[in-house]
Structure 1
Amino acid sequence: MNEHQGPRPVWESGALPTERFREIPADVLAVIEARTGPVLKAEPVSGGLNSEIAARVHTSTGTVFIKGLRQDHRRVWTQKREADINPHVRDLAPALLWRAEDAGWDLIAFEDIQGRHADYAPGSPHIPLVADTMTRLSAVQAPDIALRDMPDRMKDHTDTPELFAGNTLLHTDWFPTNVLITGGRAVLVDWAWASRGAPWIDPALWVVWLVKSGHTPAQADQWAARVPAWRTAPAEGVNAFAAATVSVWEQITDGDPEPWTLDMLMAARRWAAHRG
């Protein structure tokens, strides 16, 4: 859920060849070009990405989106997580093209999808598209790969983590930059925090974003109800999750919080109060 500002531009028109990719190390560029052919241009992508390298790379044969972390980075495991999940979410996410572990880097390349980041504000035409994608995701069973369970993730924030158990594949990070609107549908990116749990948990996490974006808790609940799994969710479980979500955002904002995290804490508290 952390914002990431991303690197500054890696290419400028008219730059010398040795300068054009100064933000992509030469050894990384060599790894990329071994798979794509000569790189003509690289455009950085920022916002919501926990990567040291995040760029749209143009070659003579097309464009790919590259994410990369050093192999000794503490979150390098997220690269494998995304690669392992991708075959199971091909109709919900950009397709993985290749993964390379070379020159001290872990790189993953996806098909390039042009789209707008989702707008969760009241009246946004994106909201029903997100609900439709969430409905499809809620029917996907968690694959047999390394995934954290939601009871384990939330055990420090509730006395009843068992209420969040299930075998559904969850995205869990509904930051608007992780949802691309393209071709009349919502496509999900950045699956690093995917987990296993009850099918109503993604809608519950989305509700807090909707409240933060200007919806009342009741309106947010109504949008979540577009997802069938939400309509059959046990009230005890949802209420416990609402309270646990407040605890999560209290932990995130403890210390030196950013303004948006304080907004999320306020939204979580409003929703929990609404749930009673």
Structure 2
Amino acid sequence: MSHPPASGTRVPWHDVHPEVRAAVEEFLGGRVVEASTQSGGFSPAAAVRLRTEGGRRAFVKAVGPEPNPDTPGIYRSELKIAAALPESVPAPRLLTGFELAGWVVLVFEDVEGGHPELPWRRDELERVLEAVGSMSAALTPTPIDAPTVGEVFGAKFDGWRKLTQEDTGGLDPWALRHLDELVELESDWVAAVAGDSLVHADLRADNILLTDDRVYIVDWPWACVGAPWFDLVAMLPSVGMQGGPPPHELLDDPDPAVTTVVAAVAGYLVRQGRQPDPPGIPTVRQFQRAQGVVALDWLRRRTGWS
């Protein structure tokens, strides 16, 4: 089964600002002799596994002001969250982070693991779902201060409402037929997703690392506080799109609040998939469009609307 890649245009280590590279080497205590770029993820930044001449290893994320002006702010958010996460969270440990020469830099422990195999294998998916459930329980109530899901996503989850003021050519016929009802359904999403759990809010296969005995969740810039099931709702469209079971087979909670948030997520994905490519991130819209197809089918099932 084919699916769009969760990858963007990465900056190689040798193109990172020389002052940043020097500062990382100083922190690691030796000259970098091996730099392996990691392709997963969409941000137009460096994501590199490093090894120094003394054998020390680290994973470094670094981004400058070009080509996407929004990415440094995202990395600042990740730096703040990563520094605050308790050790109980299954995330790589942040070793240091700093800003230098217009770049935002995060240095993590290096994890010897790999992303889940795609199309999804059922055994790996079950490991991940179990880990997500355990993480949700451990992060309820939230152990750190973080914004709410409503504050982080705000108007982004008003996708159906925005579509009523835009060209709807090519929109799925079912969605077009029920557009006014979808606007009404999504309008309550902030109240529906309220809760006291710390959620990752961007779970996908490329933000998960598997070792022989652990599941690591990486890339936490969007972490926020909300309902404990939000991570599953946000993640399952990508699972279905990447060859896993459809969302309704993995989450059958009949709570109307879940349906409301599924509507908001579907509206976000469908509308975002219709937007132009953001600067320096040429693959994300295709990925969102493919998720939107799965999310819309899930929403159709949950509403029962013909």
TM-score range, shorter chain: 0.7 to 0.9
Corresponding residue of 2:153? 153
Corresponding residue of 2:18? 26
Letter in 1 for 2:298: W
What do the CA deviations read for 1:103-155 (whole angstroms, capped 9, x no partner)?
33221100001212123645432111111221122120334434343366255
Letter in 1 for 2:297: R
5 Å-filtered alignment, 1:1-276, equals: 3-8=7-12, 10=13, 21=14, 23-37=15-29, 38-59=31-52, 60-70=54-64, 73-86=69-82, 87-90=84-87, 91-119=89-117, 121=119, 123-139=121-137, 140=139, 141-150=141-150, 153-155=153-155, 156-157=158-159, 158-161=186-189, 162-217=191-246, 220-224=247-251, 235-256=255-276, 258-276=285-303
- Range with greater deviation from structure 2 (235-244 or 114-123): 114-123
Corresponding residue of 2:172? none
CA distance in 1, matches of 2:130, 2:27: 35
Give the aligned length. 255
What do the CA deviations read for 1:19-56 (whole angstroms, capped 9, x no partner)?
xx3x2332111111221122222222222152522211
Contact 2:199/2:224 (8 A) holds in 1:
yes
3-state secondary structure, aligned to 2:122: coil
TM-score, normalising length: structure 2: 0.74
What do the CA deviations read for 1:70-92 (whole angstroms, capped 9, x no partner)?
37943323333323333425341
CA distance in 2, matches of 1:154, 1:120: 31
Larger % of helix: which?
2
Gaps of 5+ in 2: 160-185, 278-284
3-state secondary structure, aligned to 1:138: helix
- Range with greater deviation from structure 2 (116-125 or 172-181): 116-125
CA distance in 2, matches of 1:216, 1:39: 42
Letter in 2 for 1:253: G
CA distance in 1, matches of 2:275, 2:288: 12
3-state secondary structure, aligned to 2:92: coil
Distance 1:215-1:248 versus aligned 2 partners, 3 A rule: same
What do the CA deviations read for 1:176-221 (whole angstroms, capped 9, x no partner)?
111111123321111112121111111112221222133453xx34
CA distance in 1, matches of 2:38, 2:148: 28
Greater relative contact order, per chain length (Cα 8 Å cut-off, separation 6+)? 2
TM-score, normalising length: structure 1: 0.81
CA RMSD of aligned residues (A): 2.6
Distance 1:42-1:215 versus aligned 2 partners, 3 A rule: closer
CA distance in 2, matches of 1:221, 1:134: 17
Give the drift of 1:268.
Answer: 0.6
CA distance in 1, matches of 2:295, 2:143: 30
CA distance in 1, matches of 2:212, 2:80: 26
3-state secondary structure, aligned to 1:116: coil
- Range with greater deviation from structure 2 (186-195 or 76-85): 76-85
Distance 1:24-1:216 versus aligned 2 partners, 3 A rule: closer
Larger % of strand: which?
1
Distance 1:242-1:154 versus aligned 2 partners, 3 A rule: farther
3-state secondary structure, aligned to 1:66: strand
